[in-house]
């Protein structure tokens, strides 16, 4: 494999990690810096900034430090220009076995889904099977967790697009699981749809108060489940798009400021 294709593969892997673990994405300038580093190019920050039309000071004091800090967080190691390629290569080699060791079942597990990746959390296997069959028939990729602890492990391994969460479960109930997810920046934006036989107003109010995005009452209707899942997926995709646009806007503003200073 050529150095160019290997570097692009590592960049794609890093982008997948940041999306799954941090619910975030690289800015265009961060992507350029990372790819240049992975290619073994000896360009300085000044050279990269000049080629991209940005201030060297902005790249060295803002963009680059944030990039290495972000990578340090998702890889749980101190990341620098000198070690990023080696560490990403190690992560790629070891990722699959680590995922397989998690006590999470899935009929179709893949980080890329055109329709969406959905995590089902319920302590009743028959409920998991019913929802899995329904959603997979519609082209969704589905992961299953039999309790709240396993659900949190699954989310830590790879951020789903939507979570369908039961309330009454052993060890951690649905309310507690949702609170834990909403307490962390990396997972707080993942839509949580509660699916429960509890139909009292108070139960629904509590579900929304801990951060739930929607509520489906058992026994549910197929058309209702699909409609609510699709709606939350649309919201989720819009959130990610807004984050990406905000980062791009910040970079364009910096570029504009540099151009104005040269006039």
Q: Of 7-16, 17-26, 174-183, 194-203, which gets the smallest average pLDDT?
A: 17-26
Mean pLDDT lowest for which of 114-118, 151-155, 166-170? 114-118
Q: Give per-residue pLDDT as tens, 208-229.
A: 999 999 999 998 899 999 999 9
Listed residue (111, 153, 138, 168) closest to 228, CA to CA: 138
Output the pLDDT for position 31: 86
- The partner residues of 122 in beta bridges, in order of sequence, read none
The model's pTM is 0.56
- With a CB cutoff of 8 Å and minimum separation 6, the contacts of 194 are 165, 166, 167, 174, 178, 207, 212, 214, 215, 216
Q: Collapsing DSSP states into helix, strand and coil, what is residue 124? A: coil
pLDDT band at 190 (very low <50, low <70, confident <90, very high): very high
């Amino acid at each position: 494999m050529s150095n160019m294709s290997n570097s692009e593969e590592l960049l794609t892997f890093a982008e997948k990690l940041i999306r799954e673990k941090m619910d975030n994405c690289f800015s265009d300038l961060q992507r350029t810096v990372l790819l240049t580093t992975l290619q073994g190019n000896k360009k300085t920050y000044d050279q990269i900034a000049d080629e991209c039309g940005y201030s060297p000071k902005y790249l060295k004091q803002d963009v680059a430090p944030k990039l290495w800090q972000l990578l340090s967080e998702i890889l749980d190691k101190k990341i620098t220009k000198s070690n990023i390629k080696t560490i990403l290569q190690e992560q790629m080699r070891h990722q699959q076995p680590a995922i397989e060791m998690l006590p999470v079942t899935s009929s179709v597990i893949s980080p890329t889904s055109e329709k969406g990746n959905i995590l089902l959390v319920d302590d009743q296997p028959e409920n998991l099977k019913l929802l899995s069959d329904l959603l997979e028939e519609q082209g969704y990729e589905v992961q299953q967790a039999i309790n709240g602890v396993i659900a949190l492990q699954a989310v830590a391994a790879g951020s789903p697009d939507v979570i369908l969460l039961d309330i009454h479960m052993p060890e951690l109930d649905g309310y507690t699981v949702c609170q834990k997810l909403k307490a962390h920046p990396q997972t707080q934006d993942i839509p949580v749809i509660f699916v429960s036989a509890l139909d009292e107003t108070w139960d629904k109010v509590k579900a929304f108060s801990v951060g739930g995005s929607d509520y489906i009452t058992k026994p549910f209707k197929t058309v209702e489940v699909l409609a609510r899942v699709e709606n939350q997926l649309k919201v989720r995709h819009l959130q990610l798009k807004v984050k990406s646009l905000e980062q791009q806007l910040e970079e364009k503003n910096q570029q504009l400021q540099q151009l104005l200073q040269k006039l």
